[in-house]
Amino acid sequence: MHRSKAWLLAMVLAGGPGAAVSQTQPQATAPADAPKAAAPPAATPPGAKPAPAKSAPPAKAPVRTIEGVTVTGAAPDVQSSIDRKSYTLGKDLQATTGSIADALRNVPSVEVDLQGNLSMRGDGNVTVLVDGKPSPAFEGKGRADALQQLPADQIERVEVITNPSAAQNPEGTGGVINLITKKSRGGGVTGSAYATAASAGLKRAGLNLGYNSKTLAITGSLAANYQRNKNHFQDERGGLDPASGQLLKSFDQSIGRNLTRTITPRVSLSWTATPKDQITGALSYNNLLVYGHPDDHYTDDGVGDVPVHIFERAGHRRFLETDNSVSAGWRHTFGEGHELSVDAVYNDAIQRDNTLYTTIPTLPPTTVPLERIRDDASDHHAELRVAYSRMVAGGALKAGYELRHEDNDADYIDSMGLTAESLVPVATLANHYLFEQYVNALYATYQHAFGDLDVQTGLRLEDVRFDFDQLTSGQRNSQYYDRAYPTLHLAYKLDDERKLTASYSVRVQRPPPVFLNPLVYIEGPQNVQQGNPDLKVKEVQIYELGFEQRKGQTLYQASFYFRNAKHDFSQVLTDLGGGVFKFSFGNTGSSQAAGADLSANGKLTSTLSYSATLSPYWNEIEAGPLDVSAGRRTLYSVGGRFNLNWQATADDMVQLNGIENGRHVGPQGTFEPNFNLNIGWRHKVNDQVTATMTAQDLLGTNHFQRLLDTATLVERFDVRPVSRSVFFRLDYRFGGGSKAAKDPGFEYENGAPGPGR
């Protein structure tokens, strides 16, 4: 249903998993790969007589820090490098039948709430990339819907970068999630098709095609989604009445019904024009259409808990978002470890949100006109990147320049009338603004191995300017600032099976345009919002320590982190009286968070494998500058997840999956924990056909709850979706060379590996 956009966005800044999706603009950046090891000795030519072993002492292999650790047979398969972890989705059955949100819920350090709002380690400011580049589907207010509607079938791996290097855009205090799409492998034409149906009214279908030759690789996909869903909301608030000293309560009981349709075609290519030149390109389109039917019942109590307002509000909503993305790149290789690349990206997201409300009053029994709200936005993003790398003094130097430009236009129109034909825009409720931002960045990283110690240092310099033009009120605001972002990553090889890592970075969260809008924004009968054009950039210093040990086919990982934020900005709810509440924004004094991710992946028996993560967490927020009654808030919590895979037969795998999202704290309240249990079964019919069946939310415990408790304001907000469902999927593979080649390495920078790479 159509809820308060301001309230949902605010939860991002409160640091909870229920946070609404951040409207920051994720940016793509270059990878920070380790230097390549020395080439092995040439093989003995066929027919040549090998030299006697005693003719020369055996050469001692150079001591190198291992690049990564891979565990096979676990779910998901895990790879790690000096600055990121990569999780393969091939064995995740929930990802097979579900959405991208379902896939991310099973990735360590990542949480996705019931409304599709994404967070990492309790921080909702997360940058989402696709093949290392920004995607319009995952920017702006449509990201939560996109995560829940787009099928995970197109995603091969998920890279989680909790402490990125200077080569990456510093935007995203929670970190970076890079979705690596599936690429065609094998020779000639390959392809697959699938169809999914679910008991909850969901239908999905898709087609994947690929062509590979010695110089050309093309991958194309088409996915379509149709889904009906239902949510139950209950919001109970109480604001202090100074005259009576009583908390006057307001209630909103709601049922939201949605019908969602998406269609997403995508094509990418990689052409090796010469042995030293590679040209890449990609096109994607996403059409997201939502028909919503929100139905709210409002009650406002006066002194003595006597109702003073009772009314119902029924809505008919049509939300359409069209996303277009085009990217192109050229890379020239001068020699081993010596490359120059140029990439360009252009994205646009056009959103049209139209809702017609009918209000039926009970108390007092007065006539209330119809109301039509148009909340439209047009967002444009352009990016140019130049990157250069070469070996210098035995290490790898990477340097680059990036230019990013964002141009946003948001227009809110509220019309009222007695009939649909007589609706007239209300001038005092109009809200139209423009936002434009330029970011110029220079960066350099240098990575060198000193025996068993691998060191990567980096520095990023950014010049940022934005202009905010409130067309309705005539107010204009600008900010201009320069920042430096140092990074450091260390990896120390204890032996062939154990490794220690450490890292430091400075990340930022730039206020999204909606948080800067100074004009009061009407969200509904009980909610208004007012932004703050003077918001400062949130800056977070992140420290991490890690340990990895491989023992046979088992991988143990432990990551410990500490985050110290200044100029943290959050949304605060205040009571305006008469059942109306205002959401406003400001910079808190500071906040700190510390925690750990403790993971194990391996096999219990020859047919039984597992993966498990335990995540203890501590967070402290100083909310005094925004709400004196809230003060300092501290919380300890534990979350986690587990997967149990049973290879019952050569053709059958059964999977049990459980996810516990721990409790999180916000400036004025807490986000309560929830648990979800899922099960799945995959059967290989033959080499071309596979059947998969999954069941979600077996225990019916998947819900979201936010509690707010201060001296002057209390709130209890519950969301209980109808999420219990059974999914059935059929896959059909065709074409020559359909068996996957060797799993590619990290692909943060380039969408598809070139032939022969």
- Give the end-to-end CA distance of the chain in Å, rounded to a whole number: 48
Tokens 């205090």 correspond to 173
Q: Which helix (H) or strand (E) holds 9?
A: helix 5-13
**DSSP label of 4:** -
The CB-based long-range contact list for 635-638 (8 Å cut-off, 24+ gap) reads 635/663, 635/664, 635/665, 635/670, 637/662, 637/663, 637/664, 637/673, 638/614, 638/662
- Element at 5 (helix H, strand E): helix 5-13
User: Rounded distance, CA 235 to CA 359, Å?
Assistant: 19
Q: What is the dihedral of CA 136, 399, 178, 619, to 10 degrees?
A: -100
Are 502 and 552 in contact by the 8 Å Cβ rule? The answer is: no
Nearest to 463 by CA among 442, 446, 440: 440
Residue 68: strand pairing partners:
none
pLDDT at site 150: 85
- At 100, which helix (H) or strand (E)? helix 100-104
5-31+70-735 is a CATH 2.40.170.20 domain:
yes
Give whole-number Cα distances, 716 to 83, 210, 708, in Å: 40, 51, 6
Q: Which two tokens stand for residue 35?
A: 């230097």
Provide, for the chain, the percentages of residues in helix, strand and coil under a 3-state DSSP scheme, each rounded to the nearest 5. 5, 60, 30
Task: Using the CB atoms, write b or e for 149-162: b if 16+ within 10 Å.
Answer: bbbbbbbbbbbbbb
Q: In whole angstroms, how far apart are CA 82 and each of 486, 504, 639?
A: 16, 12, 25
Question: Is-contact 439 451, C-beta < 8 A?
Answer: no
Q: Note the pLDDT of residue 77.
A: 76
Q: What is the pLDDT of residue 114?
A: 76
Going from the first residue of the chain to its last (757 residues), give the mean pLDDT of each consecutive group of 10, the final group possibly shorter: 41 38 36 39 40 42 40 56 87 89 89 85 89 87 82 89 94 92 81 92 92 93 92 92 91 94 95 96 96 95 93 95 96 96 97 95 84 96 97 96 97 94 94 98 97 97 97 95 96 95 95 92 89 92 95 92 89 86 84 94 94 94 63 87 95 95 85 92 95 93 87 89 91 68 33 34
Rounded distance, CA 320 to CA 289, Å?
A: 5
Helices (H) and strands (E) in the chain, counts: 5, 39
| Exposed / middle / buried, residue 335 (Cβ in 10 Å: 0-12, 13-18, 19+) | exposed
Q: Are 507 and 486 in contact (CB under 8 A)?
A: no
Q: Which residue, 625, 538, 640, 637, is CA-closest to 589? A: 625
Q: Report the pLDDT value the prediction gives residue 623, as an integer from 0 to 100.
A: 67
Whole-number pLDDT of residue 736? 62
Is the CA virtual torsion 170, 171, 172, 173 positive or negative?
Answer: positive
Classified as helix, coil or strand, 6 is: helix
Coil, helix or strand at residue 632: strand
CA angle (451 as vertex; 448, 457 as ends), nearest 5: 25
> Strand 527-530 relative to strand 338-363: parallel, antiparallel, unpaired?
unpaired
Tokens for 178, please give them. Answer: 């890079």
Report the predicted TM-score, pTM, of the whole model to 2 decimal places.
0.83
Residue-wise DSSP of 652-684: EEEEEEEEEEPPEE-SSEEE--EEEEEEEEEEE
Within a 13 Å sphere around the CA of 719, how many CA atoms are in the beta-carbon half?
21
What are the distances in angstroms from CA 671 to CA 235, 261, 293, 583, 664?
A: 14, 30, 26, 18, 5
pLDDT of res. 127:
92
Question: CA 385, CA 442: separation in Å to the nearest integer?
Answer: 10
Q: Which residues pair with 447 in a beta bridge?
A: 396, 456
Which H, E and C letters describe 225-248, residue by residue? EEEEEEEEEEEEEEEEECCCCEEE
Longest distance between any two alpha carbons in the chain, whole Å: 104
**Is cis: bond before 753, omega within 30 of 0?**
no
Tokens 């017609």 found at? 356
